[in-house]
Amino acid sequence: MRRVNDGFLTCAGALVVALALWASPAASAEPVDRLAAVVNDEAVTARDIETRARLVMLSSGLQDSPEIRRRMMPQVVRRLIDERLQLQEAEKLKITVTDSDIAQGIATIEQRGKLGPGGFEKLLRANGIDMAAGRQQVRAEIAWIKVVRRKLLPNVKVSEEEIDAKLETVRGNLGQPEFLAAEIVLPVEQPDQEDEVKTLLERLVEQLRAGTPFSALAQQFSQSATAANGGDLGWVAPAMLDPDIAKALGGIEVGQVAAVRSSAGWHIVALREKRIAGQGRDASGVMLDLAQIVLPLPRDLPQEEALRRVGELKAQTRAVKSCDEMETLGKTLRLSQSGRLGKVKAGDLPDHLREVVLKLGEKTPSEPVPVPGGAAILMVCKRDTPDAALPSREAVRARIEEERLDIQARRYLRDLRRAAFIELRM
């Protein structure tokens, strides 16, 4: 008999050994009602664990074998214990999950899995799984969403300045790569969980590379708010991601997955599509107020001399901090084609110039670029991005709120574990 607190999964290995009696499909044919764990004053039975294991294998597409069960069982136990804590917290807060809520949750599962109305229950029955187990998992997910939104959402404040900053990040990313990505998040809350979580991670990566749908594994194993949507992150710019995750996505091809260690734990990221930011939106309609310095380079000028002159100009513009200073420098150098260009639509620029200016932050000199008869250094004085090229302020606010809620919800659940009486009885 074991009394376990926050680090209860450090003992999960012992529980898995005890579960060996029913850790294979053949052994699981006999129902088992023995007490496996106590969560505060609520029991988790061996039958509960067996049924959930079978449900996880079925819904995630994993092969139901003794080896896979051995690797997955700690996560199954953890999820069951967490669900008990989540439902207990909902009851404490007098939060109810109605039959209508559950029916809507199941309908969403059926729609995502293309099962058709009633298909979820038919699938479970065909595989000998009690529908009550499926309803219980859906109930816990909905209850926790309601708890988090009641307890945490009122404390999440997003200022107009933060929205402006996020939109500016999106503006600055126009012309650069962005990713349509998905994630599976496996937190490591205690150092002694590292090996266990990494074992799970490796097994999930194996299954993904063998063709198991990413969304199915995300729904069952990810501990992020995105799990309910199959891990979907939508289109994201590298600047909006953890640097290590952004680097991993940038290093794989569409359709591939990568494992990444962050400060919070392990992540599996999938790259679904990749594009240049602004494609699919009207980046060509971005209005740019530009200034330039143009250095004439005669055709018969030796290459070495041309490179020297361009290098000198680059050094002279390095300290320029505004378009007025660019204009003044052009006059000082008596470069007649230099100065303010006024407002120019990005779509009207030559491709190579458009690519340069869309990547530039405002009031930042570009690298020298070739133009007819010479080389130019450009500066964006002001950028006016049409609404069609940017997400709405409401969408940005919701994204920031969800990111903060996700972090706070993990801490909330961690605190519930620490305060709970959790006893393994196998």
* Tokens at 92, concatenated: 């404490």
Report the distance separating Cα 77 and Cα 75, nearest Å.
5
What is the per-residue pLDDT for 138? 92
What is the per-residue pLDDT for 15? 38
SS3 269: strand
- Is the distance from CB of 219 to CB of 105 less than 8 angstroms? no
Residue 370 lies in a domain: yes
DSSP code for 315: H
Residue 218 lies in domain: 176-276
SS3 238: helix
What is the per-residue pLDDT for 387? 59
What is the per-residue pLDDT for 351? 83
Residue 398 lies in a domain: no
User: Which residues of the chain fall below pLDDT 50?
Assistant: 1-31
Residue 170 lies in a domain: no
Report residue 279 CA to chain centroid gap: 21
φ, ψ of residue 101 to 5 degrees: the values are: -60, -45
228/346 same-domain check: no
Q: What is the dihedral of CA 42, 45, 48, 54, to 10 degrees?
A: 150
What is the per-residue pLDDT for 277? 67
- Is the distance from CB of 181 to CB of 268 less than 8 angstroms? no
Q: Which amino acid makes up residue 162?
A: E
**Count of domains forming the chain:** 3
HSE (side-chain half, CA atoms, 13 Å) at 164? 3
CATH code for the domain of 216: 3.10.50.40
What is the per-residue pLDDT for 151? 94
147/109 same-domain check: yes
What is the per-residue pLDDT for 396? 86
- Is the distance from CB of 121 to CB of 134 less than 8 angstroms? yes
28/147 same-domain check: yes
Answer whether 0.85 is exceeded by the pTM: no
What is the per-residue pLDDT for 175? 61
Q: Which residues pair with 339 in a beta bridge?
A: 292
